[in-house]
Structure 1
Amino acid sequence: MGSKLHKWLALFVGVQVLLWMGTGAIMSFLKIEQVRSEHVISRETETLDPEFPAQRWLVDRQGIVAITTKSVAGRPLVQIERNDGSKTLHEPETGTRVSPLPSSDAQAIALYAWTGPETSIAGAKLIESPVGTEFRGPFPAWQVTFSDPDGTRLYIDASSGAILGARSDTWRFFDFVWGLHIMDWTQRDRINSWWLLLFGIGGTVIALSGFVLLANRFPKLRRRKVKRAPASKSP
């Protein structure tokens, strides 16, 4: 009975164990730099010395936690961050607000960040809701798509111009494999689901029961050898 239960449990859990091994091997094979598009996208931001003090045009100072002058696609802008988490970009000389950024600025930021082979932009659209598992905010954000073979897409904060995420066909494949590996087929971020716990416990039970069954076979093997031994002849 114990041996039969062990076999059926091994068959049930074995499929997922095979997926664990296979998906683990695939994720180890893929270069994480390529998954993150680090080989074609630079996320470095340049902070500039404030040549134009914001105090000259800044009227509403309530809740301000930081004022920085930074380069946005090679263009100096002043970023004002408030304690509610909001960020706005302004022209350094006049204080004119330029955020939320238009499509042209988002595309300029994307091209400025591109470090791979020469390519062009296939499209840009403003999004205000999650895009599957590849981007969940903050919003609003620009989705800028390149025409490269890997289908690279950048998600750019419409308020601050920051690059929030870089996705590609390689990333989507890795994300799918990761979902199979952790048994989270929808959200891809739950590593403590009941499914994973159940199969993990099942795998442990199989391993322990296998050792017990193997240990129980040792005495039987010894007894068989004794029974099969030829009887010694008397002189």
Structure 2
Amino acid sequence: MLLSSPLSLMFTSVARLSFWRKIHKYLGWVLLLQLIFWFGSGLVMSLLPIEQVRGEHLRRAQAAPDWSQALSPAPLAQQLPHHQLKLSQQGIIPVYQFSKDNEQLYYSALTAEVIAPLTEAQVKDLARRQYQGTADIDKMQRLQQAPFEVRHLAAPLWQVQFADEEGSSFYLEEYTGKLLSVRTNNWRVFDFVWMLHIMDYEDREDFNHPLLIVFSATALFFTLTGALLLPWRRKRRSDL
């Protein structure tokens, strides 16, 4: 009985060690691809300058409008009591923008007249003014639905694509020509690896979803099992 007790403990330890090795190995195989995605996407995002991802180097600020000749917005505000007033501009023309839910109304601050949507020629001119590069416009279109890469923007809006190496797309508001967003190839790469990083393959925005939580918890457990096996591995080497 005295001999059997140490042998029993030894076999029990070996069984436990074998069990945790199997758990660690299987967890490694399950996590392998996602770990590559996590580390690879993190590396790519750290290498891409965030200013270039946002397209800030391609933006040119518009000249400020002259508000000295602007009419008071009070009469318009009385006609639209439940709307929120914002100051905007169409080129160098000052504009009053009234917002309520999804409704947007635009008035010239110089005449108090309703502003009509911009023509294609006006949009082209305003896009060029706000573009910092030298490339020509390759394509432009008025969109009734926002593309996935600007899914947060409200349509209709204008998309202006420039024939530069960065694949630049400018998205402009249809009444004022305000530059709402810039998308480049760097942004598209960043958006793709961000999707891989947070494992949101649909909207690419939610990093609190169950899939990410489960894989993160599994990765933590994988690390803990590795730490658990490390002393046994060192002991085994010392015995050899």
For this structure pair, what is the TM-score category when the shorter chain's length is used for normalisation?
0.7 to 0.9
Q: Are 2:178 and 1:159 equivalent residues in the alignment? A: no
**Aligned mates of 1:106, 1:52 — CA distance in 2:** 23
**Aligned mates of 2:198, 2:27 — CA distance in 1:** 20
Q: Which runs of 5+ in 2 are unaligned?
A: 1-18
Q: 1:82–1:174: structure 2 CA closer, same or farther, 3 Å change rule?
A: closer
Q: 1:105–1:77: structure 2 CA closer, same or farther, 3 Å change rule?
A: farther
Letter of the 1:99 counterpart = A
Count of aligned residue pairs for this structure pair: 221
Q: Are 2:137 and 1:146 equivalent residues in the alignment? A: no
Question: What's the CA shift string for 1:49-74, capped at 9, x where partnerless?
Answer: 24031569859722243263x5433x
Q: Are 2:116 and 1:99 equivalent residues in the alignment? A: yes
Q: Once the 2 structures are TM-superposed, how far is the Cα of residue 206 of structure 1 from its aligned partner?
A: 0.8
Structure 2 partner of 1:15: 33
Letter of the 1:27 counterpart = M
> Of 121, 127, 132, which aligns to 1:115?
132
**Aligned mates of 2:227, 2:162 — CA distance in 1:** 55
What value does the CA root-mean-square deviation take over the aligned residues?
Answer: 2.6
Q: Which has the higher helix share?
A: 2
**Aligned mates of 2:108, 2:150 — CA distance in 1:** 32
Q: 1:135–1:108: structure 2 CA closer, same or farther, 3 Å change rule?
A: farther
Question: What's the CA shift string for 1:180-209, capped at 9, x where partnerless?
Answer: 111122311111222211111111001111
Structure 1 partner of 2:221: 205
CA contact (8 A) 1:152 1:168 kept: yes
Q: TM-score, normalised by structure 2?
A: 0.80
Higher relative contact order, structure no. (Cα contacts within 8 Å, ≥ 6 residues apart): 2
Aligned pairs for 1:36-115 (under 5 A) are: 36-42=54-60, 46=64, 48-54=66-72, 58=76, 61-63=79-81, 64-66=83-85, 68=87, 70-73=88-91, 75-84=92-101, 86-115=103-132
Q: TM-score, normalised by structure 1?
A: 0.81
Q: 1:190–1:82: structure 2 CA closer, same or farther, 3 Å change rule?
A: closer
Q: Which runs of 5+ in 1 are unaligned?
A: 226-235
